[in-house]
């Protein structure tokens, strides 16, 4: 409905009566009183609305009916766009010759990689959400292209959906050839663009049919590495021009606070529940919470149509079935299946972005609650810190403490071997006792922020955690969009006013090691340069490296705390 609302806002100043005509035309032509217009009454409805019936009216569900959304879009002149499914046979024809016994009893025409074609681009998932030219896909020409239908949505809506909704499930760490692959991603986009329509079953269900076979279990790690590794190839180089419109993009989500919100859910909260990636969410109420060894679960209660899932309702009604509601009580529901009930959420789930909590007491209030569990000590990259006791072996070299920088002299220390991070026992004890839940808390409080600003070692440690979370594609740099998300995240955590765009740019210009330009020798191969050789300059985006980001983090934290204190003084 966002598209309709935008178009109405544009149309109303020039045509104040358009909304009233829309309502009366739809109600008069809906002779069956079902909230749907049968094709026999389309011409009548468009005539009452004062427009000619479009030659290509889009029947979104293919059942001969037009709902109010589709009718309004046509009256307001929305353009339709074709949606296609591009299929690539990764076996290059060999799958046809594989015996069905080796593939769980199913015969495959191909081992399918897929992408959704719309708005002149192809959107696909390969360890990152990618937008590519249709003739520039690493798998070559598609084996076949399936026409899925036409959509009234816009490219802007699709990109917003990718950034706000899909990224939570499809990110650089989530690719799995059996559980979350390119075909699952294509199905998400098809459902969004075509209002619930799914891609062909032979493509969508292929991993499910083959997952029990020994050959797939053996090849699974290699396939994950190959098909899920495209995110590494699109990371922007520090010296390259930033991702251009034609370059595939990855979305950063440092401002995603959905998990922190889940950690603070309580009995009585109303949330969205989606168990499977292909499901529409239900509005549910939490009636009980429990904890197992590994995670929290909930008992929920909600209403649903009897004997059907939401995506089956239209077909059930068209066949004359009755739509009756029942109360459902479901237990042992993992909290990761819950999503915030946002005002702008339509038929899909969305993540809780930090910016949404700034002026929304409903979500801000939840985030200010005490979490339900203690926090896991982690290195700046998020790996668990392992406790080590006893003196290190004489042949082992222990790196200095990552907080204080001193040699680790105590027998108690905490280590992340993957990142070569070590925290001495004294620093660990000091940080764990900080106000506001300690240094490993998932959300900063004003009390914890003050403790960090008074402790340079832990401030640097926490700043690196934000840096690595924002720099998810490991470029080693934070550009302005990522810095804006960090800024919004800190403001949301501290309930403070975020920096304006001009203030943010000013701070980045002050701290950026490149200051918008980069020295570059005339010979691009000779990056060191030689005496007497002329050196040119090239403009680069405004970016922060790890060192300058640490100072940016401290400055932003100080400004946010000052804002909080000023607001408190005004209130008193």
Average model confidence (pLDDT) for the chain?
77
- pLDDT tens for 217-254 read 555 555 555 454 444 444 333 332 333 333 334 444 68
Residue 120: φ, ψ to 5°? 80, 5
The predicted pLDDT at position 349 comes to 53
Active-site option among 182, 379, 416, 424: 182
Question: Does the annotation count 113 as an active-site position?
Answer: yes
Closest CA relative to residue 553, chosen from 466, 428, 474: 466
For residues 295 and 263, the answer to whether their CB atoms sit within 8 Å is no
Six-digit token pair at 523? 């010979």
Q: What is the pLDDT of residue 23?
A: 82
- Distance (Å, rounded) from C-alpha 149 to C-alpha 165? 22
In 3D, which of 78, 62, 76, 61 has the Cα closest to residue 152?
78
pLDDT in tens, 44-87: 888 888 777 766 666 655 667 777 777 788 787 777 889 999 99
Active-site option among 41, 113, 195, 273: 113
Cα distance from N-terminal residue to C-terminal residue, the chain: 42
- Give the integer Cα–Cα distance in Å for 230 and 132: 12
Taking only Cα atoms into account, the Rg of the chain, rounded to an integer number of angstroms, comes to 27
Cβ atoms 213, 223 nearer than 8 A: no
Q: Exposed (0-12), middle (13-18) or buried (19+): which is 493, by Cβ within 10 Å?
A: buried
Q: Which two tokens stand for residue 182?
A: 């390119």
Residue 565, pLDDT > 60, answer yes
CA dihedral 215, 216, 217, 223 (to 10 degrees): 120
Task: Kindly report, residue by residue over 148-205, the tens digit of the pLDDT.
Answer: 988 888 888 888 788 767 776 776 666 776 667 888 889 889 988 887 788 887 787 7
Give the separation between CA 167 and CA 343, rounded to whole angstroms: 19
DSSP letter for each residue of 352-421: -BHHHHTT-HHHHHHHTSPPSSPPPPB-TTSPBPEEEESPPPTT--PPPPTTT-S---SSEEEEETTTTE
Q: Report the pLDDT averaged over residues 282-292.
A: 90
Q: Go through the chain and tell me how many residues it has.
A: 572
Q: What is the pLDDT of residue 544?
A: 92
Tell me, yes or no, if 336 is annotated catalytic.
Answer: no
Burial class (CB in 10 A: 0-12, 13-18, 19+), 220: middle
**DSSP count for the chain of H helices, then E strands:** 19, 19
Where do we find the tokens 């990855």? 250
pLDDT number for residue 63: 64
Q: Which is it for strands 535-539 and 421-424: parallel, antiparallel or unpaired?
A: unpaired
């Amino acid at each position: 409905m966002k598209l309709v609302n935008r178009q109405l806002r544009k149309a109303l100043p020039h045509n104040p009566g358009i909304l009233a005509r829309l309502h009366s035309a739809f109600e008069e032509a809906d002779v069956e009183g079902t909230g749907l217009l049968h094709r026999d009454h389309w011409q009548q409805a468009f005539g009452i609305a004062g427009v000619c019936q479009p030659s290509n009216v889009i029947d979104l569900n293919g059942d001969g009916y037009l709902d109010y959304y589709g009718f309004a879009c046509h009256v307001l002149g929305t353009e339709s766009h074709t949606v296609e499914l591009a299929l690539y046979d990764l076996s290059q024809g060999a799958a046809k010759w594989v015996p069905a016994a080796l593939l769980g009893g199913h015969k495959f025409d191909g081992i399918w990689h897929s992408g959704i074609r719309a708005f002149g681009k192809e959107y696909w998932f390969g360890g990152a959400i990618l937008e590519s030219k249709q003739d520039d896909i690493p798998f070559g020409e598609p084996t076949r292209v399936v026409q899925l239908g036409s959509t009234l949505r816009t490219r802007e809506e699709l990109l917003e959906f990718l950034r706000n909704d899909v990224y939570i499930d499809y990110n650089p760490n989530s690719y799995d050839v059996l559980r979350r692959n390119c075909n699952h991603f294509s199905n998400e986009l098809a459902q969004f663009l075509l209002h619930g329509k799914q891609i062909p079953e032979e493509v969508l269900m292929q991993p499910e049919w083959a997952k029990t076979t020994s050959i797939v279990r053996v090849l699974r790690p290699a396939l994950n590495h190959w098909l899920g590794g495209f995110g590494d190839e699109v990371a922007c180089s520090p010296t390259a021009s930033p991702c251009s419109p034609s370059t595939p993009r990855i979305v950063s989500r440092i401002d995603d606070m959905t998990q922190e919100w889940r950690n603070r859910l309580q009995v009585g909260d109303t949330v969205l529940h989606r168990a499977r990636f292909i499901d529409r969410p239900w509005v549910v109420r939490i009636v009980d919470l429990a904890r197992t060894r590994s995670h929290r679960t909930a008992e929920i209660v909600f209403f649903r149509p009897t004997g059907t899932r939401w995506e089956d309702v239209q077909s059930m009604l068209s066949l004359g079935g009755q739509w009756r509601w029942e109360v459902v009580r479901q237990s042992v529901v993992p909290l990761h299946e819950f999503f915030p009930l946002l005002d702008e959420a339509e038929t899909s789930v969305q993540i809780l972005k930090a910016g949404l909590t700034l002026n929304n007491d409903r979500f801000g209030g939840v985030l200010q609650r005490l979490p339900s569990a203690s926090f896991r000590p982690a290195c700046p990259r998020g790996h668990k810190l392992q406790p080590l006791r006893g003196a290190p072996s004489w042949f082992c070299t222990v790196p200095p403490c990552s907080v204080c920088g001193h040699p680790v002299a105590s027998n108690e220390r905490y280590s992340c071997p993957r990142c070569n991070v070590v925290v001495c026992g004294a620093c660990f004890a000091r940080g764990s006792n900080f106000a506001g839940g300690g240094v490993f808390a998932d959300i900063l409080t004003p009390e914890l922020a003050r403790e960090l600003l008074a402790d340079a070692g832990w401030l640097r440690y926490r700043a690196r955690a934000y840096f690595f979370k924002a720099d998810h594609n490991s470029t080693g740099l934070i550009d302005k969009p990522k810095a804006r998300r960090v800024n919004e995240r800190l403001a949301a955590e501290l309930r403070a006013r975020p920096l304006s765009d001009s203030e943010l740019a000013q701070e980045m210009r002050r701290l950026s090691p490149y200051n918008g330009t980069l020295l570059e020798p005339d010979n691009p191969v000779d990056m060191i340069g030689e005496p007497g050789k002329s050196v040119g300059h090239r403009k680069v985006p405004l970016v922060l490296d790890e060192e300058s980001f640490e100072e940016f983090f401290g400055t932003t934290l100080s400004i946010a705390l000052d804002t909080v204190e000023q607001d408190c003084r005004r209130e008193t």
